[in-house]
Amino acid sequence: MLLIHAAAAISVNVTVDDSFGNTDRTVIPTYIPANDTWHVGSPSEECGICTIKPSELDIDQILDQSWHHATYFLGIPIQVEVTFPGTAVYVYSVVPNFLPNGAITLVNVTFALDGETVGQFFHAPDSSSEILYSHLVYANASLSDAVHTLVMSAAGSERSLIFFDYLVYTTEIEETTTSGSATVYVTPSMSPTTTPLSDPSSASARQLRGAIVGGVIGGVLFLLSVAVSSLFLVLNRRHRRQARPL
């Protein structure tokens, strides 16, 4: 059996959760500073002093029902850092408008890729209670196929909320496929079907016998015709003699 394998590069999207990372946990976000600045949200938490409570959110619309949020109050930047291999990256956040308890909902974050600033997201809240879930705040689909580091930061001269839910990156993987179990069948050799050739001597003998028989028949017919002709002449002469007057 001959198995034909083909390897082809395909693009796949990999989701990185804010808490759990990707499925094999090789890409996990890092939160800076590593202290109590960041709040890790979950459905079961009870936080009386938190300005954003689970009861104010539709947690079913948040990936894995977990999130990280923090408020920047001027000074040390607040950052999310993710290192990933890929050709594209997309960052998704929860973006609220008005929340009770005086929560800051203005969002002003910047994005740096491999040490270079590449984008910014700004949202000025209105008075509605609408909350945007899985909201795309940064996208870049033109990366080189390499390992990159993305940093999402809240910094500058304005207080800002940073509310991270998840990230998606696109990477190339080799997929080996079996194009088919190609079974090569060997056909047993077949004995050729032959038609026996006639014996030349037998054929000559048959031809000779045919010639002899034909000659005999021809000779007999010739002799019969001669005899009939002779008999006819004899009878004709006899008839003329009898008919002559005396």
Residues 98 and 170 in one domain: yes
Inside any domain, residue 212:
yes
In terms of Cβ atoms closer than 10 Å to its own Cβ (0-12, 13-18, 19+), residue 29 is buried
- Residue 215 confidence (pLDDT): 58
- Residue 36 confidence (pLDDT): 86
Residues 173 and 209 in one domain: no
Per-residue pLDDT of the chain (246 residues; tens, 9 = 90+): 555 555 678 999 999 999 999 999 999 999 999 888 999 999 888 777 788 889 999 999 999 999 999 999 988 999 999 999 999 999 999 999 999 888 999 999 999 999 999 999 999 999 999 999 999 999 999 999 999 999 999 988 899 999 999 999 999 988 765 554 433 333 333 333 333 334 444 444 455 455 555 555 666 566 666 565 666 565 656 555 554 444
Residue 167 carries which side chain, given as an amino acid letter? L
- Residue 209 confidence (pLDDT): 54
Residues 242 and 167 in one domain: no
Residues 223 and 160 in one domain: no
- Residue 245 confidence (pLDDT): 47
Dihedral over alpha carbons 200, 201, 205, 210 (to 10 degrees): 10
Q: Where are the beta strands (DSSP E) in the chain?
A: 2-17, 30-32, 39-41, 67-72, 78-86, 88-96, 107-113, 116-123, 131-140, 146-154, 160-182
- Residue 123 confidence (pLDDT): 97
- Residue 9 confidence (pLDDT): 82
Residues 233 and 132 in one domain: no
Residues 21 and 125 in one domain: yes
Record the tokens describing residue 82, joined without a space.
């993710």
Residues 43 and 144 in one domain: yes
Residues 175 and 208 in one domain: no
Residues 205 and 172 in one domain: no
- Residue 115 confidence (pLDDT): 97
Total domains in the fold of the chain: 2
- Residue 66 confidence (pLDDT): 96
Residues 240 and 153 in one domain: no
Residues of the domain holding 170: 2-181
Inside any domain, residue 193:
no
Inside any domain, residue 230:
yes
We report the CATH number of the domain holding residue 44 as: 2.60.120.260
Residues 166 and 221 in one domain: no
Inside any domain, residue 194:
no
Residues 156 and 245 in one domain: no
Domain boundary among 125, 146, 181: 181
DSSP 8-class letter at 100: S
